[in-house]
A and B are shown apart, each in its own frame.
Chain A
Amino acid sequence: QSVLTQPPSASGTPGQRVTISCSGSKSNIWSNYVYWYQFSGTAPKLLIYSTNQRPSGVPDRFSGSKSGTSASLAISGLRSEDEADYYCAAWDDSLSGMVFGGGTKVTVL
């Protein structure tokens, strides 16, 4: 199973705010940056790096945060095009490698 734990699904109506959690441990989330990726059929897309930074071109509706061994991705002003699978990731010092969450499928109702 995945090293980082995410809820399998989340949903909201257009315009709502959706939050996705990502739970890890001291050797990954607590110690290192968190990243968030969007998988929606084409090549995966980087949404958040360095825990809370957005690459250019990513709307400010997407935001990331971290507290202790947990992180979260918030999507505000939900839009139909946000329907996708979202994955968190972080470097793990014990495994000396990047680890991922199991993914959260976001549905826009």
Chain B
Amino acid sequence: QVQLQQSSPGLVKPSQTLSLTCAISGDSVSSNSAAWNWIRQSPSRGLEWLGRTYYRSKWYNDYAVSVKSRITINPDTSKNQFSLQLNSVTPEDTAVYYCARDSHGYNKAFDIWGQGTMVTVSS
């Protein structure tokens, strides 16, 4: 059974970097048939896909246009997890952040989700 366990930083100050990790059990971050995504949800912006990392003989990343200049998603094969870094945060980045898997078997659907982490950007 695949599970995703998210870290919980909670509070981040404006202009600083938001960092989250998502630990994978029951699957591999290096899987050739899955991609590992970050998604956030806020009252003002709704659900927003942020980006993903995946391995197909080499590592690839795709990022949403809205955050492309500020985001990095990295795999960590030694710990079987992946991370999100979002730079120069503002209160607009306050949201519940989810990690999620999409797999070939479901044609890009997010079939496994983490529990969600509330992140507040405030001084």
Contacts and interface: CB of A to CB of B under 8 A. Distances in A.
Interface of A: 1-2, 33, 35, 37, 42-46, 49-50, 55, 87, 89, 91, 95-103
Contacts, number: 60
Interface string B86-106: 000000000000101000001
Contact of A46 (B47, B48, B106): B106
Q: Is the interface of B mostly helix, strand, loop or mixed?
A: strand
A37 B106 CA distance: 13
B65 A44 contact: no
B116 interface: yes
Contacts of A95: 64-65
Interface residues of B, number: 21
Contacts of A37: 110
B27 interface: no
Given A87-B47, A97-B49, 14 more contacts: A2-B46, A2-B47, A35-B110, A43-B98, A43-B115, A43-B116, A44-B98, A45-B113, A49-B109, A95-B64, A95-B65, A102-B46, A103-B46, A103-B47
B106 A98 contact: no
Nearest to B116: A43
A102 B109 CA distance: 17
